[in-house]
Amino acid sequence: GVAFGRIVQYQSFVMLWSTLAVLHMDRFEKEGRTADLWLTAVFLAGGLLAHYDAILVVPALLWLFFRRWRQHGVRWTAVFTAVLWGAGILLLFYLPFVSNPNFARTGTYLLRGRVGVNETTGVLSWSGPAVWQMITLYNSLYFVAGLGILVVLGCWRVWHRKEGETAVLLFLAPLIFYLFIVVDPRTHVYTFFPGAVLLASAGMDWLLGGVSRPGLRPWLVAGALAVWWFISAVYIFQIYIDNTPERVRTWAENRPSFFPTTWDEPPLYGLFGFPHHTGWRAAADWVPAAGLPYASNEEQEISAWYMAQALRTHCDNFETFILATNAQDELAYNADLLADMPVQQVVTVNGRSALKIYSRAGDPAGSPIEAADRVLWRSPAQVAPRQTGGQYPVHFTLGNGAVRLVGYDLDTRQAVPGGQVTVTLYWQALAPFAENYQVFTHLYDGEMRAQHDGAPECGIMPTTRWEPGQLIPDPHIMMIPLDTPPGEYPLSVGMYNLITEERLVVEETDQDTIELTAVTIQPGP
């Protein structure tokens, strides 16, 4: 709860809405009110709009519905109306979603990337070690062990009293799904904790049932539970609240000494909610417009948020390089490119070096910038993806409506023999690509004067990864041979299939080449 409460994601919504669905179905089972049945459908649909995890409460809902039908019967017109309510809410989103040409890619990701179904494997798998590692990272081993004991006691009580089967289904349905179906469960283990807590509360109620009676034993039980609760809270404080040091990021050096684990290092991927302060907002405030585009060893999804969508490149045309000391999702970079660039600024967090900002221009670093007290908020407009791009807007559609060139930037500051010309193309994807296409940029006047062919963004963003509506900045650096005579040369660009070498046709001109402008090559020094 602490982890998911500090991030903007679906988990809290799924738990809230699916729990409300179970609550109202339970009331319907007891009282038979049609309004509760309708609210169940509405809340279940709301949970499914957030994530498919919400469907894991359906077995519990069906059990409660079955109990009502078996004991008192149901009005099927009310049931049909409730189904219409839920289906109507879901169709508002899922109908256009399924109709989107990108839906097939999403389905492939879910089935192959997360569930693990492919041509050589079946549906069943075993993810016990991954589930165990995740739940004993987000909570202490003491808490998980104590919760497990209470769950067993709760199941025993359910068995003997012949009531509480709903809690068992809330616990077992997601547990079985993520243990035996999903090959990469990650933080989705949260789904079986609501059922586990309900069963544990039944076990705790049985243990504490004798506290009001005289004798020492009930009070010893209550004291043991209080100590267990306190120790578990200490772990939560150390992992989530105290961010000096950031224990999960530096596990080998700063793991909580009193809290053992059965594994040596936390999972590499799928961790959310842990404190991580790198100082990107300070870097965003410092890097001037003249220092763009920037590059970094941190993934773009992270840096783009804090840098307010400032122009970034994955190629060698960067003006600024921001080196994260402890990157969250580190990207490979060419350290040789930084050898001749001075460190123009250092960003610190609580006194430790967090970011080093290299710049092609400017003096070496002065006093470090402390980011610990920096304001972190951004407005929605500041973090929204770019919708327009390029100093020079254009409009060319290629590949039967697959992609549009909407603009370009041109850097001719080094346009001399032995120098280079950098053109950044801004592509807007209109439909998914089934194959990868290369981009060509040519200075061609009947003779090839300079060129660069390659996958978009220097291979980082192949066209099969493009999503409809996405804007892709695509830099290309054309090296100018030393023997190139000064003069003006047409700049032409386009796309082609690397295997067949067939170019995409431009709809506006019915040609396979886009002539953008003329580039002047100046005499050398």
Rounded Cα gap, residues 59 and 168, in angstroms: 10
Measured CA to CA in angstroms, residue 199 lies from 56, 60, 64 at distances of 17, 14, 17
Do 82 and 44 form a contact (C-beta atoms < 8 A)? no
Contacts of residue 144, defined as CB under 8 A and 6 or more positions apart, other chains included, come to: 135, 136
Task: Report d(CA 145, CA 151) in Å as an integer.
Answer: 10
Domain ranges for the chain, please list them.
Answer: 1-100, 122-276, 280-383, 392-521
Element (H, E) at 95: helix 76-99
Which pLDDT score is estimated for 121?
60
Say if residue 278 is exposed, middle or buried (CB neighbours under 10 Å; 0-12, 13-18, 19+): buried
Say what the pLDDT of residue 313 is: 92
What are 448's two structure tokens? 């090839």
Block means of pLDDT (10 residues each) for the chain, 525 residues, are 70 92 96 96 96 95 96 94 95 87 73 63 83 96 96 92 90 96 90 95 84 68 92 94 83 90 89 84 80 91 87 90 89 89 88 89 74 74 76 94 95 94 95 92 95 94 90 95 95 95 95 96 87
Residue 335, Cβ neighbours under 10 Å: how many? 9
Query: Can you state the angle between helices 34-50 and 58-72, rounded to 10 degrees?
Result: 170
Q: Give the residue ranges of DSSP H helices in 237-335.
A: 251-254, 280-286, 300-306
- Coil, strand or helix at 146: helix
Provide the token pair at 134.
């995740």
Given the candidates 2.60.40.1930, 1.10.1040.10, 2.70.98.60, 2.60.40.770, the CATH classification of the domain at 392-521 is: 2.60.40.770
Distance CA 308, CA 23 (A): 42
Type and span of the H or E element at 516: strand 514-521
Residues 14 and 54: beta-carbon distance below 8 Å = yes
Q: From residue 254, how far is each of 52, 138, 249, 250, 420 by CA, in Å? A: 36, 16, 9, 6, 48
First and final CA of the chain: distance in angstroms?
65
| φ, ψ of residue 41 in degrees (nearest 5) | -65, -40
d(Cα 307, Cα 300) in Å, to the nearest integer?
10
What type of residue sits at position 202? A
Could you tell me the two tokens for 211?
């506290």
Global pTM value: 0.79
Q: Report yes or no: 439 and 504 within 8 Å, Cβ to Cβ.
A: no
Give residue 365's pLDDT.
64
> What are the structure tokens assigned to 409, written together?
């930037």
3-state helix, strand, coil split of the chain in percent (to 5) is: 45, 20, 35
| DSSP element (H, E) containing 43 | helix 34-50
Nearest alpha-carbon partner for 415 in 447, 386, 449: 449
Omega before residue 185 within 30° of 0, cis: no
pLDDT value of residue 363: 66
Strands (E), 288-381: 294-296, 320-324, 343-349, 352-359, 369-370
Strands 448-454 vs 437-444: parallel, antiparallel or unpaired: antiparallel
- Name 441's bridge partners: 452, 493
Query: CA-CA distances (angstroms) from residue 489 to 45, 120, 337, 409, 486?
Result: 59, 54, 29, 17, 9
Quick check: 206 and 153 in contact, CB under 8 A? yes
